[in-house]
């Protein structure tokens, strides 16, 4: 399974190379990868259906218990099949949709990467691994949404999707870490084996909250739904793939996956049902005001995702089955409708449903596919959508509060299905430039195959989807065997009555579409208060905060920098002293020797001298006294290396200061006594803190000293008698490497700064 996930990444990396030799045909080659994966997943179906869980483990970072562990059960298989099958169709579609685009291979490459990440999410056995792939899907979707990066809206939409899902990702990370700690393992297999043991855990509410925010943001649940319609800036194949059939369902997958662990509690049922219903209604309400093909579809996707979350929240056996079947049906018809919408816009250059019509003449095949998908979406009998809707109704019939929103959303599905899938092909005329014609076979393959799936699921639901749905539902419910009985027609039941009612109301609503749109646009100002605005305001606020803190902290005044650094040190030190509540008792009586006493006095004199000096040169000389005395102290304490280095640094430092001073304005202190007083306070505080810290450091021993070890092994292991140097270049060479890297960066920056100033000087 590792290879199954990695093949997508490898193919994505190789594609640019392939493109060089094969040109646009490389996309067709790329489509082979998901096709092969589909076949592979399909062949493992019999084993999974018999209740087996396929597992593959390979170690990655054993130090932090992170393993490349993958598991394949019914739920994972359902998603894996959707991802790879629709992936193949979408890549095929892309090869024609982006025909002539020089960056086609980049798009296909990103699509492959996305596919591999998505497979990683649904197959990962390790929670941390799942999170990594989860983030990768956000990242690759950023690339796909922002594919037309010359357009500002694309960039904005891509960034928005990234920020919203990325923020959710952070919540998820925290949730995953807490969950893994609480369960005692990061392996999903082991956590699932524990089975609802977490519901009574003290951290349960926090874990649940964090994971729900992560899942809701990914699956565009209210109040995070706004990024999804905006993401329609993406090229149509990406919308069809990410925003209808796969990525947005990652949140649903996560909820379904963790249902056995976190589900069944009051909080779970309450939150999922409430947010699901709210999303359902938001999606329905917003869709009514739309006139563009893709945005219409996007809002119904929001509603459909709300549906799934709501069903998972209800959590009864029937509801879970309904969620699974609805998910399958939705993936088939929604991807198909997106692809057809892409064809329509591609051929006519028009995306406004009000101005589309009469296209059946020009594109009979696309029209037929579109009608089939629309029928499925509307839930007419003998379509996959009908089977799904019957199941949904059956599971919510006895819950009035949920039933009404479900009917409302189904009503909306009828209206949108008509507008997007059927109306463009009814007699009428389109305002289009030139004559539209049938799309090439590569673009039709997707809608045709998905349309056939819609029909197959409608006529022979049990044979087409029964076993897969059963094993997926079983996995969601934690291994209970789930009997699924899908039938094309149940006879007259309460569900079918409700269905018929929905359809009739829906048809009535279709005839009143004009009013709908008017009502919808009348409500548009409401959007000003929506979460989209909150997002914009937050971004602006963040920028303002950044500007403000840069102005305060990065003022450009060297004095202020020094003051901030010193005060920060004093503050941190003071805080820790306050928290421990006691000043260190200075019980160590280090005897004062005469030489160190003299040196100490000299150092103090030097420091005072540098303060009262009337010219810079004399200040430097006074500081030099301090430096040389310090190096003598090193000598006294038997550290000749340090002393030597300090001496050379002092000499070079004096040269540096003198050359720098020649560029400074003349030396006279323009500061008033207030400023001097402030500086003195800062200096005294800093000196006091430093002194205390040094005295305390004598008594603090956090870990056993390793000085002894170094002294013993210096010659044995390091082949050197100078312990300091052996430590520097051998024992702690990595530290030294870090230090010289910092040094190198500092040097390069200094040169760059001076060069910039010099260029500016020359220009003026």
Partner 1 sequence: MGSLILRKATRYLFPVIMMFSIYLLLRGHNEPGGGFVGGLAAASAFILNQLAFDVPSTKRLMNVDSLTLIGTGLLIALGSSVFTMLDGQPYFSSHWATLRITSDWQLLIGTPLIFDIGVYLVVLGVTLAILLSISNFRKSPS
Q: How far is the CB of 672 from partner 1 (least distance, A)?
A: 30
Q: How far is the CB of 641 from partner 1 (least distance, A)?
A: 5
Distance CA 606, CA 600 (A): 10
Distance CA 642, CA 646 (A): 6
Task: For residue 418, give the H/E element and its range.
Answer: none
Backbone angles phi, psi at 479, to 5 degrees: 90, -5
- CB-wise, 89 or 620, nearer to partner 1? 620
- CB-wise, 497 or 743, nearer to partner 1? 743
Q: How far is the CB of 64 from partner 1 (least distance, A)?
A: 17
Answer whether 265's CB lies under 8 Å from 272's CB. no
Q: How far is the CB of 634 from partner 1 (least distance, A)?
A: 11
Residue 131 CB neighbour total at 10 angstroms: 21
- CB-wise, 568 or 758, nearer to partner 1? 758
Distance CA 668, CA 708 (A): 52
- CB-wise, 115 or 726, nearer to partner 1? 726
Backbone angles phi, psi at 59, to 5 degrees: -80, 145
Is the peptide bond prior to 223 cis by the omega test (within 30 degrees of 0)? yes
- CB-wise, 269 or 635, nearer to partner 1? 635
Residue 201 CB neighbour total at 10 angstroms: 15
Q: How far is the CB of 637 from partner 1 (least distance, A)?
A: 14
Cα dihedral 185, 186, 190, 195 in deg (nearest 10) = 90
Q: How far is the CB of 60 from partner 1 (least distance, A)?
A: 18
- CB-wise, 52 or 730, nearer to partner 1? 730
Q: How far is the CB of 104 from partner 1 (least distance, A)?
A: 39
Distance CA 608, CA 664 (A): 23
Q: How far is the CB of 596 from partner 1 (least distance, A)?
A: 21
Q: How far is the CB of 41 from partner 1 (least distance, A)?
A: 37
Answer whether 324's CB lies under 8 Å from 438's CB. no
Q: How far is CA 180 from CA 57, 189, 408, in A?
A: 18, 12, 39
- CB-wise, 128 or 642, nearer to partner 1? 642
- Residues in a beta bridge with 57: 69
- CB-wise, 668 or 721, nearer to partner 1? 721
In the three-class reduction of DSSP (H, G, I as helix; E, B as strand; rest coil), residue 382 is classed as: coil
- CB-wise, 480 or 744, nearer to partner 1? 744
In 3-state terms, the chain is what percent helix, strand and coil (to 5)? 75, 5, 20
Backbone angles phi, psi at 680, to 5 degrees: -65, -40
Q: How far is CA 269 from CA 262, 265, 321, in A?
A: 10, 6, 16
Distance of CA 271 to the CA centre of its chain: 23
Q: How far is the CB of 736 from partner 1 (least distance, A)?
A: 6
Answer whether 229's CB lies under 8 Å from 298's CB. yes
Cα dihedral 475, 477, 481, 485 in deg (nearest 10) = -100
- CB-wise, 700 or 734, nearer to partner 1? 734
Q: How far is the CB of 653 from partner 1 (least distance, A)?
A: 10
- CB-wise, 39 or 754, nearer to partner 1? 754
Interface with partner 1 (CB under 8 A): 640-641, 644-645, 648-649, 651-652, 655-656, 659-660, 662-663, 717-722, 724-726, 728-730, 733-734, 736-737, 740-741, 743-744, 746-748, 750-751, 754-755, 757-758, 761-762
Residue count (the chain): 764
- CB-wise, 575 or 651, nearer to partner 1? 651
Answer whether 113's CB lies under 8 Å from 32's CB. no
Answer whether 258's CB lies under 8 Å from 268's CB. no
- CB-wise, 140 or 714, nearer to partner 1? 714
Q: How far is the CB of 66 from partner 1 (least distance, A)?
A: 19
- Residues in a beta bridge with 59: 67
Tell the burial category of 569 from Cβ atoms under 10 Å away from its Cβ (0-12, 13-18, 19+).
middle
Q: How far is the CB of 746 from partner 1 (least distance, A)?
A: 7
């Amino acid at each position: 399974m590792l290879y199954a996930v990695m093949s997508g990444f490898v193919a994505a990396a190789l594609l640019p190379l392939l493109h060089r030799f094969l040109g646009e045909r490389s996309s067709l080659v790329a489509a082979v990868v998901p096709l092969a994966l589909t076949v592979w997943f399909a062949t493992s179906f019999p084993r999974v259906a018999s209740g087996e869980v396929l597992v593959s483990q390979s170690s990655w970072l054993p130090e932090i218990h992170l393993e490349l562990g993958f598991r394949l059960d019914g739920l994972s298989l359902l998603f894996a099949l959707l991802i790879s099958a629709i992936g193949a169709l979408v890549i095929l579609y892309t090869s024609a949709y982006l025909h002539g685009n020089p960056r086609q291979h980049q798009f296909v490459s990103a699509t492959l990467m996305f596919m591999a990440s998505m497979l990683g999410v649904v197959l990962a056995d390790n929670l941390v691994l799942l999170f990594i792939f989860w983030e990768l899907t956000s990242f690759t979707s950023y690339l796909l949404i922002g594919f037309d990066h010359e357009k500002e809206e694309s960039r904005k939409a891509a960034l928005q999707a990234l920020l919203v899902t990325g923020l959710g990702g952070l919540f998820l990370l925290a949730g995953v870490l807490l969950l893994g700690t609480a369960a005692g393992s990061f392996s999903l297999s082991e956590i699932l084996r524990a089975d609802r043991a977490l519901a009574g855990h003290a951290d349960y509410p926090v874990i649940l909250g964090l994971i729900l925010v992560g899942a809701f943001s990914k699956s565009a649940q209210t109040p995070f739904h706004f990024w999804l319609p905006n993401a329609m800036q993406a090229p149509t194949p990406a919308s069809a793939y990410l925003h209808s059939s796969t990525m947005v369902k990652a949140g649903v997958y996560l909820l379904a996956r963790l249902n056995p662990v976190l589900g069944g509690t009051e909080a779970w049922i309450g939150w999922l049902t409430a947010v699901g219903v709210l999303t359902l209604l938001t999606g329905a309400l917003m869709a009514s005001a739309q006139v563009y093909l893709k945005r219409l579809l996007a809002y119904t996707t929001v509603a459909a995702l709300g549906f799934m979350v709501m069903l998972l929240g209800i959590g009864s056996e029937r509801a879970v089955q309904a969620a699974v079947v609805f998910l399958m049906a939705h993936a088939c018809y929604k991807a198909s409708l997106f692809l057809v919408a892409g064809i329509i816009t591609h051929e006519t250059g028009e995306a406004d449903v009000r101005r589309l019509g009469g296209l059946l003449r020009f594109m009979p095949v696309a029209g037929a596919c579109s009608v089939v998908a629309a029928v499925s979406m509307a839930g007419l009998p003998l379509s996959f959508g009908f089977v799904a809707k019957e199941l949904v109704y059956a599971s919510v019939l006895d819950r009035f509060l949920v039933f009404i929103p479900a009917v409302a959303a189904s009503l909306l599905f009828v209206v949108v299905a008509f507008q997007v899938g059927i109306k463009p092909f009814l007699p009428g005329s389109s305002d289009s430039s030139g004559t539209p014609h049938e799309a090439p076979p590569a673009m039709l393959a997707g809608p045709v195959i998905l349309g056939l799936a819609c029909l197959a699921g409608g006529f022979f639901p049990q044979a087409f989807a029964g076993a897969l749905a059963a094993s997926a539902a079983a996995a969601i419910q934690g291994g209970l065997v789930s009997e699924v009985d899908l039938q094309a027609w149940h006879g007259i039941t309460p569900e079918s009555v409700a269905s018929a009612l929905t359809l009739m109301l829906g048809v009535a609503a279709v005839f009143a579409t004009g009013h709908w749109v008017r009502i919808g646009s009348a409500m548009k100002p409401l959007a000003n208060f929506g979460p989209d605005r909150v997002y914009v305001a937050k971004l602006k606020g963040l920028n303002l905060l950044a500007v403000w803190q840069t102005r305060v902290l990065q003022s450009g005044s060297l004095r202020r920098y020094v003051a901030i650094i010193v005060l920060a040190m004093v503050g941190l030190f003071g805080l820790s002293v306050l928290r421990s509540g006691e000043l260190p008792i200075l019980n160590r009586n280090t005897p004062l020797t005469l030489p160190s006493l003299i040196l100490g006095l000299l150092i103090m004199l030097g420091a005072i001298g540098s303060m009262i000096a009337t010219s810079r040169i004399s200040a430097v000389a006074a500081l030099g006294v301090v430096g040389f005395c310090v190096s003598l102290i090193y000598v006294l304490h038997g550290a000749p290396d340090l002393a030597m280095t300090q001496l050379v640094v002092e000499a070079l430092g004096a040269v540096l200061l003198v050359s720098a001073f020649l560029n400074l304005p003349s030396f006279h202190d323009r500061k008033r006594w207030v400023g001097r007083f402030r500086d003195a306070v800062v200096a005294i505080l800093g000196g006091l803190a430093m002194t205390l810290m040094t005295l305390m450091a004598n008594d603090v021993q956090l870990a056993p000293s390793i000085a002894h070890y170094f002294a013993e092994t210096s010659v044995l292991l390091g082949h050197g008698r100078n312990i300091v140097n052996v430590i520097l270049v051998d024992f702690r060479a990595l530290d030294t490497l870090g230090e010289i890297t910092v040094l190198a960066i500092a040097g390069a920056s200094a040169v760059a700064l001076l060069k910039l100033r010099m260029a500016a000087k020359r220009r003026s």
